Chains A and B, each alone.
Chain A
């Protein structure tokens, strides 16, 4: 158990819908990262938040957005869902000046 929690574990929805994925980092970790794992794209970085502010952006679609709240939990919002958004979404967290990222168990999103 990495100490990073993600909810829900599984999500099944339809095209065009909007979903919210939630992540709680390890105690003391200020950085939260979101990654997408799909069969065709592999593991890709989406976005990073540090202490409530956006720090870095990767290949995140405009239909996707994220935020980190004062209690440091983070949410990833996916809207206008398409079949190709079906993937495993990971959240990871790390402490300042620590190089390791600890991953949550992931949320499996299926878009039908």
Chain B
């Protein structure tokens, strides 16, 4: 079974600075997808960024980028120019690609609570 580990329960960053959230995963599959979701105090789950395992290029969405290290099974999220609105829980998630008959379910890590200090 696939597992996702987020080793940082809490992180803090100064406004306008850069912060990196860590995520590692365990799988025997070669076809899969990785995601970062943001959960602000409203509790809404918001997709931040996604990465296809077959793509070598790291995904980027505005101030958010990932460092995908497939061999190391590592998928970290970098937030640049942090803003107060970035304060939230961040969840790393894994999804099987389905090629090997895996489920489309998301497997989540425990989350990292990010605080942004003014």
**Does chain A bind chain B?**
yes
The interface bits of chain A over 29-54 (1 if a CB of B lies within 8 angstroms of the residue's CB, else 0) are: 00101010000001111001000000
Which residue of A42, A55, A92, A106 contacts B110 across the interface (Cβ within 8 Å)?
A42
A5 and B52 alpha carbons, distance in the complex (Å): 27
Which residue of B33, B44, B105 contacts A56 across the interface (Cβ within 8 Å)?
B105
Quick one: closest B residue to A105, CB to CB?
B44
B52 touches A48 (CB 8 A): no
A31 touches B104 (CB 8 A): yes
A100 touches B47 (CB 8 A): yes
Which residues on B sit within 8 Å (CB–CB) of A102?
Answer: 47
The answer, yes or no, to whether B90 is at the interface (CB within 8 Å) is no
A43 touches B95 (CB 8 A): no
Interface residues of B in 86-102 (CB under 8 A from A): 91, 95
Q: B109: shortest Cβ distance to chain A, in Å?
A: 8
Which residues on B sit within 8 Å (CB–CB) of A42?
Answer: 108-111
Interface of B is mostly: strand
A55 and B111 alpha carbons, distance in the complex (Å): 27
A99 touches B33 (CB 8 A): yes
The answer, yes or no, to whether B106 is at the interface (CB within 8 Å) is yes
Q: B40: shortest Cβ distance to chain A, in Å?
A: 12
A90 and B67 alpha carbons, distance in the complex (Å): 28
Which residue of B33, B42, B105, B110 contacts A48 across the interface (Cβ within 8 Å)?
B105
A60 and B56 alpha carbons, distance in the complex (Å): 36
Q: Contacts A90-B45, A99-B50, A102-B47 given; indicate if A56 touches B103 (C-beta within 8 A).
A: yes
Which residue of A31, A45, A99 contacts B107 across the interface (Cβ within 8 Å)?
A45
Which residues on A sit within 8 Å (CB–CB) of B111?
Answer: 42-43
Interface residues of A (CB under 8 A from B): 2, 31, 33, 35, 42-45, 48, 55-56, 58, 88, 90, 92, 94, 99-103, 105-106, 108
